[in-house]
């Protein structure tokens, strides 16, 4: 089976993000970038399914040439080949979904797994648009019961279970009150939640093998897609800095402050 996964380039969540003085964006200087963590989980799930059912994992990213680093990362984890949509402009969920739709129509995967959202703008829409526009089934927030993966946990029924005939899949997904299990017809769009798996580390031999794996370059024009965004970011502002805390001498003082200053009791 053929599985397509995504690898968006995002700011490293451990970087210190500074908003530009004029609020037009963030300071790029000195920032590190990495694969969107939800996408990395999608890549891992794709690799596990391909290992189980046979087949290949194709990884897609949209952006300038730097996104090849994230594609190489996914290739180093074990993806078979990469598709790079060379696009320098701003991207919103609709433009990303439009480009991905064209890529999926070319690649014709049995299953596409996307991160449920990217940690830069937290939109959580691309997978949903994509399923709608393709007319495919969708199962968002694919998840597992436990956050950490013991050997026992790994042996449990996986969150994405492909039927023996390859025509449908069962997907466990996270909802407010727990988990639901959906059965979807393939091809389908699945988006990955945080607790779906713990992505493998890229190994050094994997990194070296990735150097020789193919990255196919496409452009919005070649795909026949108008990628201009529908959403315009008007202004960014940083959250107000946290005020320093105070140390209280005893429980009595704490109660007094909670009552008289914070007015919470």
Binding mask 15-54 for other proteins (x = CB under 8 A): xx-------------x-x----------------------
Query: Contacting other proteins (CB under 8 A), which of 202, 213, 215, 257?
Result: 202
Rounded Cα distance between 206 and 52, Å, is 19
CA angle, 215 then 2 then 226, to 5°: 55
Query: Contacting other proteins (CB under 8 A), which of 12, 56, 120, 216?
Result: 12
Which pairing describes strands 178-185 and 168-175: parallel, antiparallel, or unpaired? antiparallel
Which pairing describes strands 56-63 and 2-6: parallel, antiparallel, or unpaired? parallel
205 near other proteins (CB under 8 A): yes
Binding mask 52-91 for other proteins (x = CB under 8 A): ----------------xx--xx--x---------------
The answer for residues whose C-beta is within 8 angstroms of residue 256's C-beta and 6 or more apart is none
Query: Contacting other proteins (CB under 8 A), which of 22, 108, 148, 201?
Result: 201
Instruction: Show the DSSP H helices in the chain as ranges.
Output: 37-53, 68-77, 93-107, 126-134, 151-155, 204-210, 220-223, 251-260
Rounded Cα distance between 132 and 135, Å, is 5
261 near other proteins (CB under 8 A): no
Query: Contacting other proteins (CB under 8 A), which of 28, 181, 183, 203?
Result: 203
Rule CB under 8 A: which residues touch other proteins? 12, 14-16, 30, 32, 68-69, 72-73, 76, 201-208, 211
């Amino acid at each position: 089976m053929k599985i397509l996964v995504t690898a968006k380039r995002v700011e490293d969540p451990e970087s210190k993000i500074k908003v530009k003085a004029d609020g037009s964006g963030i300071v790029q200087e000195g920032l590190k970038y990495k694969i969107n963590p939800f996408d990395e989980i999608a890549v891992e799930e794709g690799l596990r399914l391909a290992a189980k059912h046979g087949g290949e994992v194709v990884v897609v990213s949209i952006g300038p040439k730097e996104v090849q680093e994230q594609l190489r990362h996914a290739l180093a984890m074990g993806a078979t080949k990469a598709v790079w949509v060379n696009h320098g402009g701003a991207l919103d969920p609709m433009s990303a979904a439009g480009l991905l739709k064209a890529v999926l129509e070319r690649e014709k995967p049995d299953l596409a797994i996307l991160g449920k959202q990217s940690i830069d703008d937290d939109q959580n829409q691309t997978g949903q648009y994509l399923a709608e526009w393709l007319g495919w089934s969708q199962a968002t927030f694919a998840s597992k019961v436990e956050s950490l993966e013991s050997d026992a946990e790994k042996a449990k029924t996986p969150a994405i279970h492909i039927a023996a005939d390859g025509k449908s899949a069962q997907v466990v997904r996270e909802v407010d009150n727990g988990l639901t299990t959906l059965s979807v017809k393939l091809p389908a769009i699945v988006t990955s939640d945080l607790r779906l798996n713990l992505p493998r580390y890229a190994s050094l031999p994997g990194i070296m093998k990735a150097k020789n794996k193919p990255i196919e370059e496409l452009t919005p024009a070649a795909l026949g897609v108008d990628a201009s965004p529908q959403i315009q970011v008007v202004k960014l502002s940083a959250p107000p800095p946290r005020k320093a805390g105070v140390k209280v001498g005893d429980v009595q003082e704490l109660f007094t402050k909670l009552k008289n200053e914070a007015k919470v009791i």
